[in-house]
């Protein structure tokens, strides 16, 4: 059975690179020896493998790679450390308009009515 891998490399400038491959050993050697001059990691060598996850299908691996590429650096660092509680915490919306941080509709309506009465607005 063929496997696919999503991996995270730490570059010499401490940046993180996320990639996908069907042959992780070959791909790591390509990164380490700078096979592709146009590659992100070429001028940031040496690189070290910080994380890898194996998948049974290319579709699953590509989906996960795309997901990780959208993550913040803090979430990627938590994944590397295996701190799954921190990933969950970092994934929560902190926006003031998020439903978790707004008063309930009933309370909001009451507060709105009171403020209108207090200001004399109709």
DSSP 61-117: HHHHHHHHHTS-HHHHHHHHHT-HHHHHHHHS---TTSGGGSPPHHHHHHHHHHHHH
Considering the entire predicted model, what is its pTM?
0.77
Contact present, 15 and 47 (Cβ < 8 Å): no
Indicate the domain borders of the chain. 4-91
Low-confidence ranges of the chain (pLDDT < 50): 109-110, 113-119, 122
The pLDDT value given to residue 115 = 44
Residue 113: what pLDDT?
A: 47
C-alpha distances in Å from residue 51, one per residue of 23, 41, 114, 115? 15, 16, 55, 54
Q: What is the pLDDT of residue 116?
A: 44
- State the residue for tokens 């992100």: 40
> CA angle at residue 30 from 25 to 34, to 5 degrees?
155
What residues contact residue 69 under an 8 Å CB cut-off, 6+ apart?
Answer: 18
Query: What's the chain's Rg over C-alpha atoms?
Result: 23
Q: What is the pLDDT of residue 22?
A: 98
Q: What is the reported pLDDT for 95?
A: 73
Fold (topology level) of 4-91: GIY-YIG endonuclease (3.40.1440)
């Amino acid at each position: 059975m063929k496997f696919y891998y999503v991996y995270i490399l730490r570059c010499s400038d401490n940046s993180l690179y996320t990639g996908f491959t069907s042959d992780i050993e070959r791909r790591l050697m390509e990164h380490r020896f700078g096979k592709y001059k146009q590659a992100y990691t070429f001028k940031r060598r040496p690189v070290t493998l910080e994380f890898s996850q194996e998948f049974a299908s290319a579709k699953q691996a590509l989906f996960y790679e795309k997901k990780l590429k959208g993550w913040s650096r803090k979430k990627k660092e938590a994944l590397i450390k295996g701190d799954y509680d921190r990933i969950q915490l970092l994934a929560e919306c902190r926006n003031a308009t998020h439903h978790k941080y707004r008063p309930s509709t009933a309370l909001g309506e009451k507060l709105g009515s009171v403020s209108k009465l207090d200001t004399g607005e109709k």
